[in-house]
Amino acid sequence: MVHPKSIVILDFGGQYAHLIGNRVRRLGAYSEILPPETSANDLKNAAGIILSGGPQSVYDKGSPQADPKILELGIPVLGLCYGLHWITHTLGGEVKPGATKEYGRTLIHIEHGGGAILQDCGKECTVWMSHGDEAAKLPPGFTRIATSDACANAAFSDEQKKIYALQFHPEVTHSEHGSDMLKHFVEVCKPAVWSIDNFEQKITEEIKKEVGDKSVFMLVSGGVDSSVAFTLLNKVLGTERVQGLLVDTGLMRKDEVRLINEAFKKVGIQNLHIVDASQEFFANLNNMYDPEEKRKVIGDTFLAVQKRISEEMGLDSKKYMLGQGTIYPDTIETGGTKHADKIKTHHNRVDAIQKMIDKGLVIEPLKELYKDEVRKLGEELGLPHELVWRHPFPGPGLGVRILCAKKEDRNQKAEGSEIALPHAILPVQSVGVQGDGRTYRHAVALFSSDPFVVTDKHLELATTIPNKSRELNRVLLCLSHTKPFDFSFTSGYLTRERANLLRQADAIVHDAMMQAKLYELIWQFPVVLLPIGEESGKQSIVLRPIASTDAMTANAFILPPDVLKKMTEKILKLKDIDAVFLDLTNKPPGTIEWE
C-alpha cells in the first residue's frame, strides 16, 4: 500500500521518473515511485498519480502497462510522454509513430486557456520534447489544450475527470512554466505535506539501519559525489568505523589527489588511504576499444584494487560494507528502473558491484539525490566551497573522455547532404539518448568563416539535425578550421600518453574558465579526445561546456568568442593535436559525456 495522500509516480522506464519525484517533493508534496503494474487497489489512497515517460511504444508487444482501473479511482492522473500514449491507448484513442520525432526545445500553442495545468502558459510557451510516437486521435471526452508544429495533440485533458496528458516533459528545467504545470497538478491532488529539510535526517537514519554494527570501506573517486558520501559516512558512523581509499587510476584531473586530500584534512578527516594503481589500470585497458568494455574494466579494476588493499590493511569483508557515492542519474542511465533502456553502464553498476548490492554488501547513501542536493548537503557538512562546486567528474575519469577505436567507424549511411552549411561527418560514434532510449551514432561538424562565433543558425541545426537524421546525434562547430577537411584516422586505445595529453587540454580549459570567471556558471565541461585529425597520427579535442541543474537534461553553454579563441590556440600548441571542436548538442539527443 502507498503512503496515504502521496503523489505516486508510476515508472514506465523513462529517464526522468525520479526527476519527477524530486520536483514534486520540492513543491512540498510527498512522492514515491512504484512500478507501472501496481494495482489500482494499492493506489486507492494516493492523492494523485503521474505516469512517466518510457523508451518503448505503447502498442508494442511486451510494452509496460498500468492497471486501467486507476483511471476509475477518481484520483487526478497526469500522463507524460509514454504516460500520454498509455492514456490515449487505454481510453480508445490512437497512438502512431510521429511524422517527425521531436527532441529538445519545442514551441507549443495553448488552446482553451490551457485548462487547470497549462493556465499560466499564455498563448504559447517553449517545452522540452523527447518522443517518436504521438496521439493521432484523442480518446472520447478529451479536449486538446496544446499543439506544436510537429505534434497535433501536444496536450489534452478531461477536466471533469481530472485526467491530464502532456506529450512533453514539464519536470525538466528547460520546459518554460514546467514547475507551474506540476504545481497546478499538485494543487489539484491536495497531497500530504513533505519538506526537504528533514532529508539529511532521513539519510542518517537509513545509514545507521543499513550498516548496523558493521563498518564501511569507501572508494573515493575524487568527484563531488564520493567526497560528500565519504564525509557523510564519517559524520554518521564516526571516523573509526569508516576507511577511505583514493585510487589514483592515472585517469584523474591535474593535481586531483593532492587537492582532495587537502580538502578532507580541512574538515578533520584523515582516514583516507591513497594508492597509485595507474600502472594496473593501463595494463588492464590494453587493447580495449569498446566503451562499455572500458567501463566494465575500469569498474572491475577498482573492485580488484579495493579487495587487495582492504586485505593488505586487514579489513575483514564480513565486518565491512563497500561504500559508493552513486547518485540517482548514475543508476537510472544504467537502466536502474525495471523498464528503463540502458544508456550506459556506470562503473558503480558493473556486474561484480551489482551482485554485491543484491547481497546487501554495498551502501550508497546518496543514491536518491540529485547533484544540486548533493552539493547542498556537502556545504552543510562543511566541505570547502571549491570542492563542493567542482564540475561533476565521471568515476571512470578521463577513461570515458578518450575515444578508442581500432578502425575507422564511418557508417556510409551517415549522410548530411541536406545540411545547408559546410560540414563533415566524423568517422567515430558517440552515445546519445533519444526518446528515452540509447543511441550510438555519428557526430557532424559544421564549419564557419568565423569559427569562434556561435550563431542562431548553428544552434538551430544542433536541434533539427538529430531530430531529422537517424544516423546523427551530435552537432559540432569546428574551431580550428574554417573549411571541411578529410579526417585522418589513427587507431588507438587508452594509454598513459593519451591520458596525459587529455589531462593537459583539460587543465587549459579549467584555467581559462577560472580566468574568465565562468567556472561556476557552467555545470560541467567535459573535454574529449578523438582518434582523428587532419594529418596522420594526429588527434582532436572536443569542448563540451554544459548548462544544467541536475544532469537529467542539459543545454550547450555558449562561451564568449574571445575565450574560445584563447583556449583553441593553447590546445593546438599541444603535441599531436591539430583540430578542435565545440559540441553544441543538447541533452537529449546527446548525453553529456561522449561515452
Q: Please report the pLDDT score of residue 435 as a whole number.
A: 55
Phi, psi for residue 145 in degrees, rounded to 5: -120, -5
DSSP string, 51-71: E---SS-TTSTT-----GGGG
**CB neighbours (10 Å) of residue 99?**
9
Neighbours of 199 (CB within 10 A): 16
Domain with CATH 3.30.300.10 in the chain: 423-583
Rounded to 5 degrees, φ, ψ at 514 are: -65, -45
242/322 Cα distance (integer angstroms): 10
Specify the DSSP element, H or E, that contains 117: none
DSSP state of 252: S
**May I ask the CATH class of domain 196-398?**
alpha beta
Contact (Cβ atoms closer than 8 angstroms) between residue 327 and residue 371:
yes
Give the CATH architecture of domain 7-189: 3-Layer(aba) Sandwich (3.40)
The CATH class, in words, for 423-583 is alpha beta
Coil, helix or strand at residue 433 = strand
Q: Decide if 386 is catalytic.
A: no
Residue 338 has what pLDDT? 54
State the distance between the two ends of the chain, measured CA to CA, in whole angstroms. Answer: 40
pLDDT score at 410: 56
Residue in 353, 346, 354 with CA at minimum distance from that of residue 329: 346
Name the catalytic one among 18, 85, 89, 169.
169
What is the residue-level pLDDT of the chain in tens, covering all 595 positions?
Answer: 677 899 999 999 877 787 898 889 889 888 888 899 999 999 999 999 999 998 888 888 889 999 999 999 999 999 999 999 999 999 999 998 876 666 778 899 999 999 999 999 999 999 988 777 889 999 999 999 999 988 899 999 999 999 999 999 999 877 899 999 999 999 999 998 876 566 778 889 999 999 999 999 998 877 889 999 999 999 999 999 999 999 999 999 999 888 888 888 888 888 999 999 999 999 999 999 988 899 899 989 988 998 898 888 888 878 889 899 888 666 555 444 555 555 444 555 566 677 877 788 889 999 877 777 788 888 888 888 888 888 888 878 999 999 998 876 655 445 555 788 999 999 988 887 655 566 778 999 999 999 999 999 999 999 889 888 888 989 999 999 999 999 999 998 999 999 999 999 999 999 999 999 999 999 999 999 999 999 999 999 999 999 987 676 788 999 999 999 999 999 999 999 999 999 999 887 788 899 8
**Catalytic residue check, 169:** yes
Active-site option among 134, 171, 333, 364: 171
What integer pLDDT is reported at residue 431 of this predicted model? 80
Residues of each domain in the chain carrying CATH 3.40.50.880: 7-189
Domain with CATH 3.40.50.620 in the chain: 196-398
Catalytic member of 18, 81, 125, 373 = 81
For 267-322, where are the alpha helices, taking DSSP H only?
278-284, 291-312
For the CA atoms of 580, 583, 584, 588, what is the dihedral angle to 10 degrees? 170
| Residue 37 annotated to the active site | no
Kindly tell me the burial class for residue 422, based on how many C-beta atoms sit within 10 Å of its own C-beta (0-12, 13-18, 19 or more). middle
Q: Is the peptide bond before 76 cis (omega within 30 degrees of 0)?
A: no
Whose grid coordinates read 543558425? 457
Note the pTM of the prediction, 2 decimals: 0.70
